[in-house]
Chain A
């Protein structure tokens, strides 16, 4: 095994050993940062030994490579865009005409949703009946999407008072930029608008099964009302009622109720058991079985989530 002797520098075995340990890499083109013409000593291309010139050379090469890559990327992306457009346009041209009664999707599925919807779900708004009763599993998944997105934003932006007092102080200081210094116009407008917006949001939520709208749009309206109030009056006023604890417990209760109610309904449905939920008298507020309660839950979750998105973006806390 004389070839394993490290006295033979530059031997194949030495290169192989170095490569195996990660000290030497033939494929990565270290050549471009070596001084030309001179065979470098081991260790001569260390950062300390790198002259400024070589670094500049390296950066220039890097930039050139990235530039070339970007040009190729742009051309490829344009080609991709054109191909995709043409493919999709051709596909669209083979689809049924716009507004066609005989299109494939106007089949027995849609027919039953419309004809039996009132009898089976009790909702006057067919879309609400469909998403909260016939296809409720999707809608529950959708609420979970909102929940998980708010969890991710919490992980990203929430500043914890105890663990990180420095950033908390920084965030508080920054938040002064947002605080209006007794901006009369804004505050008057907010005083007039906020109650109207919030009441309208509640109306949309409660009438979700009777008229357009529902938990999600109503919740977003309530959320924007709260955000307007916060913008006009600052955290001192909203902090009195919208605390972290309240938001957490509201979300927990709403989602928990949603989960339990829907599990009950799925379980009874799949096992062909009788459920005590009845459609009620169509057209009344407290009708349509679970739909009105589910709308309220979704509304609460959405309003809380939107409000907490805003506060987290603004100063990383409530």
Chain B
């Protein structure tokens, strides 16, 4: 089934390019998780179930969680800084969003 292989590989490349062009970091991280899942499927097709299960647990699971918690941590650090500077909440959120964008 070369057609399926080519489609999956094409999807991988599209994901990789999309990561660098997406404006919001949250979107980039989600795309990366999709990338990992598709990579796991590709490895399943390549008869390497060990790799597939590891990639699904690690790439799409733990690494994704760590990315999310890192983004959330950055946001809370940011909120602290803004609060110290005495900015009002509306402005804070706008600033965080700006910061999370590229």
Beyond the given pairs A212-B52, A220-B57, 6 more chain A to chain B contacts, judged by CB atoms under 8 angstroms and listed by A's residue number, are A177-B79, A212-B53, A216-B58, A221-B57, A224-B61, A310-B69
Inter-chain contact A310/B57, CB cutoff 8 Å: no
Give the residues in chain A near B57, CB-CB below 8 Å.
217, 220-221, 224
* A–B pairs, 12, beta carbons within 8 Å: A128-B50, A174-B77, A212-B50, A213-B53, A217-B50, A221-B57, A221-B61, A227-B65, A306-B62, A313-B69, A313-B70, A314-B73
Report, as a range, how many residues of chain A touch the other chain: 20 to 34
Does B76 sit within 8 A of A, measured CB to CB?
yes
A interface with B by C-beta (< 8 Å): 125, 127-128, 170, 174, 177-178, 204, 212-214, 216-217, 220-221, 223-224, 227, 306, 309-310, 313-314
Inter-chain contact B62/A224, CB cutoff 8 Å: yes
How far apart are the CA atoms of A223 and B63 in the complex, in Å? 11
B73 CB, min distance to chain A CBs, angstroms? 6
Inter-chain contact A220/B62, CB cutoff 8 Å: yes
Does B22 sit within 8 A of A, measured CB to CB?
no
B44 CB, min distance to chain A CBs, angstroms? 10
B76 (CB) vs chain A CBs: closest residue: A174
A213 (CB) vs chain B CBs: closest residue: B53
Give the residues in chain A near B66, CB-CB below 8 Å.
309-310, 313
Give the residues in chain B near A224, CB-CB below 8 Å.
57, 61-62, 65
| Leading 3 A-B pairs by shortest Cβ distance | A212-B49, A220-B57, A217-B54
Inter-chain contact A204/B53, CB cutoff 8 Å: yes
How many A-B residue pairs have C-beta atoms within 8 angstroms? Tell me.
55
Which of A125, A174, A227, A314 sits near B50, CB closer than 8 Å?
A125
How far apart are the CA atoms of A214 and B66 in the complex, in Å? 22
Give the residues in chain B near A313, CB-CB below 8 Å.
66, 69-70, 73
Inter-chain contact A217/B65, CB cutoff 8 Å: no
Give the residues in chain B near A306, CB-CB below 8 Å.
62
User: Binding site of A, secondary structure by majority: helix, strand, loop or mixed?
Assistant: helix
B contacts with A, residue count (CB < 8 A): 19
Give the residues in chain B near A220, CB-CB below 8 Å.
54, 57-58, 61-62
How far apart are the CA atoms of A14 and B52 in the complex, in Å? 71
Give the residues in chain A near B23, CB-CB below 8 Å.
none
A173 (CB) vs chain B CBs: closest residue: B80
Inter-chain contact B62/A127, CB cutoff 8 Å: no
Does B72 sit within 8 A of A, measured CB to CB?
yes
Supposing A220-B62, A221-B61, A310-B69 touch, asked if A213 and B50 sit within 8 A by C-beta, the answer is: yes
A312 CB, min distance to chain B CBs, angstroms? 10
Which of A174, A217, A310 sits near B53, CB closer than 8 Å?
A217
How far apart are the CA atoms of A275 and B57 in the complex, in Å? 35
Inter-chain contact B80/A174, CB cutoff 8 Å: yes
Q: Which of A127, A128, A220, A309 has the most CB of B within 10 A?
A: A220
B92 CB, min distance to chain A CBs, angstroms? 13
How far apart are the CA atoms of A20 and B54 in the complex, in Å? 59
A179 CB, min distance to chain B CBs, angstroms? 12
Q: Which of A204, A313, A314 has the most CB of B within 10 A?
A: A313
Inter-chain contact B72/A177, CB cutoff 8 Å: yes
